[in-house]
Structure 1
Amino acid sequence: MDLRPKGTTAVFVLLVLFTFCKFSETQNLCWVENNVALLIFFPENNEIGATVTTLTAEAGVTATITRQDPEGLFSLNEYDLIAVTVLDFETFDPNKPHEVNIECTRAESPSTTLNLKIVVEDRNDNPPVFAQSQYTLDVDELSKVDTSVGLITATDPDKTARLFYQLDSPEGEFDLETNFNPNILVTKVLDYDKTKQVTMTLYVQDTPIGSKAEASHTASTTIIANIIDIDNRPPWIQPCTEAVLGTSKVCMSSGYEGTVNLNEQATGPLSLKPGPVLAIDGDTGRNEPIGYAFLGGNKDDVFQIDNDTGSITMLKPVGFAGPIVLSVMAYQKENADQFATATVILKVVISSKFPPTFVKLSYEGFISKDAGLDSLVLESKTSNRPLRVQATDKDFSDGYNPNLRFEVVAGTDFSITPEGFILMAKTVSPGTVHLEMRVVDTDNEESSTASLVVEVTSGGQQVKAGEFSSGDMAAVGASLAVVIVLCSVCIGLMVHRIKGHNTDWKKISEASAFRSTLGGGSGGPKVGVQYCNEGFQLDADSGSVNSKLAADLENKLESGLNKTTPSALLQTTSSPPVDSSSLAGSETIDSEKEVKPILTKERRNEEGYKAVWFKQDVDPSTKEEVVIIPDAGEADAGHEEDDDTEEEDNLRTDMDSDDEDGLMTDDL
């Protein structure tokens, strides 16, 4: 392989021709073997004293250096031309070789002058060099794969050396076009939100990478690729929930809520939840300025939105019922095509003068660590009475506001029911837990706070929500017992009142006594004997058997039967035996029917003797049905129609005259 520089080819040819012509003219006393052109190639980085070339001379010839350019590079050691310094190719000009003139002389002979041209040969003795120790590249996010982002090369003082490159990228984001062409290409689509900067190392070597050459030199440099956030996203209204679709990212906002008072103009920006209207540039690396505007819902221009801050204020009171739905747009001021929208829902409420407040500023409760989830916090360590927090609202005359909501401001260990009971939401270690509670009027969002200290004990009995302890059950049982006693007393008073003031009750008693007399003792009527008083029926009860018998008797009286045989009045028929229990049941259920006066349509309220007349003795042992005709005195009392009274008196007179053995039973 010819390592001589290409730039010296023409010089070399001319020197060869010139030397050849000179040599042909004279006989030389000295010369350089096999080098007619006297052009000598000598490698750089030589050792001092190294032989550059050796002259061949005739006997008795003396060689002397007469001139050299530059001076001081070479000397003669008899016939050896040696280097007295280290030659360097990097300082050598290939277009101007070093020159050395050597004169050879001998007595009585013409001298010979040799003009030597010394060319310094390049050796691979220098490493490649980068112009900078660190390079910086700006790469747009979402750049397509194989996009060129920069070309970084090294130089090598060894002119003949060919350089080879290798790029080390941490995640393979970039690579080189070829190993001898350091054109850096994108190999992955980069997202600014995920990767903002990539630091790489570029290596260079003056021999093929992986070769086993003896002389090989390397160098390296650092490359920092800054990922540039491009304007590819609209504003993001805060707060929002991010979602990723491939290489695209969107942010969804749930909007805002607030309240305004009817017929009242609020001063300052409206308080909204979850916070004031705010939007940021979706391209966070750009942070473009955002503007705000209403798109709709601002009826009668009641509201105004600040173009720079997004704060919503009132220009006049709201005079109509809500809710009010405002549509807000957030847009980039430099590029209005990038925008987003959200809704602001305002509830119109009647103003409140007072916020709800807790009955006490602080509460203290106790609970066992072993109580379990949803257990109630108690008022004390020795009681099963649950702790209950309460709040009042002065806007209500009785202090009761049905629109209150209790909540724990911070922490998830405990929760509060709508009724104000404290529940353990998760397992808590023994110790003292300090909480802050808030009561909120859900109608206007007014609120106040109170402190709660819960002491979590290491053990003990605990009541869970929806359960009752034995003490609670005992209290409930005692309460029920008291209620039962009171009910019994009330029933007794009612019975006493009925006995003392209701004539119907007296008639029931009289009927019972009469049946007892007929039965022959206090034990009641004999088995198989039934006594039916057909007159003790409701006026409207025309369907009963006794009512029909009474009606037949009244028809006879109206037909002029003033004298009726006693046998016609005392209807004796055979009847099947009747259970006394059936009679008792009839007495209980149809007591109103049994206590009516005989052969009358009225009830009688007089107190005194009652008389029942029989034509003949009645044998209680016979199974006969007896129709009882009331006394005239009883029939007369309280009766509204005089005709009926006269008919009863005539009937009684006839009965008395026909029966001398008549029987009268008094004082029943």
Structure 2
Amino acid sequence: TKPLDFEEADTHELSVRATDGGGLSSICKVLVEVVDVNDNAPELAVSSFSSPLPENTVPGTVVALFTVRDRDSGANGKISCALDDQLFFSLRPAYKNYYELVTVSALDRERTARYVLGVTAADAGSPPLTSTHTFTVDISDVNDNAPVFNQTSYTMYVRENNAPTVFVGAVSAADADVGLNAKVTYSLAPVPAAERPSCSCISVNSENGHVFVLRPLDYERLRQSEVTVSASDAGSPPLRANVTVRLVVLDENDNAPLVLYPAQDGSAASSELVPVSAEPGYLVTKVVAVDADSGQNSWLSYHLLRATEPGLFSVAVQSGEVRLKRPVTERDSAKHKLLVLVRDNGKPPLSATAALSALLLKNKDCHPMYNNRLLE
């Protein structure tokens, strides 16, 4: 009279009476056995579940405990469970119909921060029925990653005579962790007393890694310096990394040429002796100068700025050699004064002057002294 349900009653007992027309009757018992069909899918009930899991959770840790049951009987009620991903997690039977979801290998939040695990329970019916439960396991961070700088080393440049607290560059480090474990602060790494740096003028901003030079520098005293910058996270305990920052001081043209010869100390300058018979190209003397700067700022050139007889002498632009430009004539005076300009190649250029004198003597007058000059 209505559908049968094996799970509600697997047998039905009936009493059947047969009555004839003469009023005689008989009773028999009818026993109806209901045969089970696979009409119930397995059921999964979670008893406990832990999420999130710290990424340093040891393998074998129980993540979830659940039970399965099937209202059918026989093969229709026999259940097996399977896990989708078995690389980091697995299922193991506990007792009776209980199963445990456990970790089987080390976890790494930086590689995978969340696992979505599907557990499928299937019965042995024909066709089998299944049910699936999803466990979402979040992985919480532990401070297992030190900061990493985006460069293996840094080179920064500053021009000498810089303004105080000038910005010269920035260091940057990232931390693969999250939260406080990834919050990076910067500082100068402490230096042992025996290894004090040649320059204590460098500062680093703790929040953004900006590097500053605190005072004006002089290229002629300090051409480069190195410091070690440390990046530290806010984990407990904190992890840190170090990087070398090299500061290179760039030269400015702030030094004029210095004339070494002839001496320009204000004392009476000795005269260069030139025989009147000297040929054109004769080396009278050489102006020697140096420049404390470097590069093109120290490239010197020599120019004849003024002379008693401009056409008699010439100055080599590159070497500063003063030579006779033409033969000496009787009309040339015996004493000559020259002023040589020494100029560097900076922008703007700086210069100095060298004053010298030359004395023209006949060969018989200057021969002994001339020989002395050669010996010198």
Give TM-score scaled by structure 1 length: 0.41
C-alpha spacing 1:278/1:255, structure 2 compared with 1 (3 Å): farther
**Deviation (angstroms), 1:328:** 0.9
Does the aligned pair in 1 maintain the 2:64–2:101 contact within 8 Å?
A: yes
Matches within 5 A, 1:246-285: 257-261=270-274, 263-266=276-279, 268-272=281-285, 276-285=286-295
Equivalent pairs counted in the alignment come to 311
**Paired letter, 1:173:** C
1:166 to 157, 167, 187: 187
**Paired letter, 2:311:** D
* Residue in 2 that maps onto 1:88: 108
Quick one: distance in 2 between partners of 1:253 and 1:332? 23
Quick one: distance in 2 between partners of 1:201 and 1:59? 67
Q: 1:48 and 2:59 equivalent? A: yes
Does the aligned pair in 1 maintain the 2:118–2:135 contact within 8 Å?
A: yes
Does the aligned pair in 1 maintain the 2:297–2:345 contact within 8 Å?
A: no
More strand by share: 2
More helix by share: 1
* Residue in 1 that maps onto 2:33: none
**Paired letter, 1:54:** L
* Residue in 2 that maps onto 1:560: none
Query: Percent identity over the alignment?
Result: 23
Give TM-score scaled by structure 2 length: 0.70
**Paired letter, 1:83:** T
RMSD: 3.7
Q: Secondary structure at the match of 2:110?
A: helix
* Residue in 2 that maps onto 1:182: 209
2:150 to 113, 118, 131: 131
C-alpha spacing 1:98/1:286, structure 2 compared with 1 (3 Å): farther
Does the aligned pair in 2 maintain the 1:262–1:320 contact within 8 Å?
A: no
2:90 to 75, 83, 86: 75
**Paired letter, 2:132:** T
Quick one: distance in 1 between partners of 2:208 and 2:374? 72
Does the aligned pair in 1 maintain the 2:274–2:358 contact within 8 Å?
A: no
Quick one: distance in 1 between partners of 2:43 and 2:53? 24
Quick one: distance in 2 between partners of 1:165 and 1:445? 71
Q: Secondary structure at the match of 1:446?
A: helix
Q: Deviations over 1:384-436 (max 9, x none)?
A: xxxxxxxxxxxxxxxxxxxxxxxxxxxxxxxxxxxxxxxxxxxxxxxxxxxxx
1:192 to 206, 216, 219: 219
Q: Which runs of 5+ in 1 are unaligned?
A: 1-25, 242-250, 357-440, 450-668
Bigger relative contact order, structure 1 or 2 (CA pairs below 8 A, ≥6 apart): 2
C-alpha spacing 1:342/1:111, structure 2 compared with 1 (3 Å): same
1:338 to 332, 350, 365: 350
C-alpha spacing 1:336/1:141, structure 2 compared with 1 (3 Å): closer
C-alpha spacing 1:334/1:219, structure 2 compared with 1 (3 Å): closer
Q: 1:446 and 2:360 equivalent? A: no
Quick one: distance in 2 between partners of 1:296 and 1:72? 91
Larger radius of gyration: 1
Matches within 5 A, 1:197-596: 197-207=224-234, 213=236, 215-239=237-261, 257-261=270-274, 263-266=276-279, 268-272=281-285, 276-299=286-309, 301-314=311-324, 315-317=326-328, 319-332=331-344, 335=347, 337-352=349-364, 441=369, 446=372
Q: Secondary structure at the match of 1:317?
A: coil
Q: Judge which range, 183-192 or 97-106, deviates more.
A: 97-106
Quick one: distance in 1 between partners of 2:280 and 2:227? 57
Quick one: distance in 1 between partners of 2:246 and 2:44? 68
Q: 1:157 and 2:176 equivalent? A: yes
Quick one: distance in 1 between partners of 2:266 and 2:250? 26
C-alpha spacing 1:343/1:46, structure 2 compared with 1 (3 Å): same
Quick one: distance in 2 between partners of 1:136 and 1:347? 56
Q: Secondary structure at the match of 1:148?
A: strand
C-alpha spacing 1:271/1:65, structure 2 compared with 1 (3 Å): farther
Q: Which runs of 5+ in 2 are unaligned?
A: 1-40, 72-76, 192-196
Q: 1:99 and 2:117 equivalent? A: yes
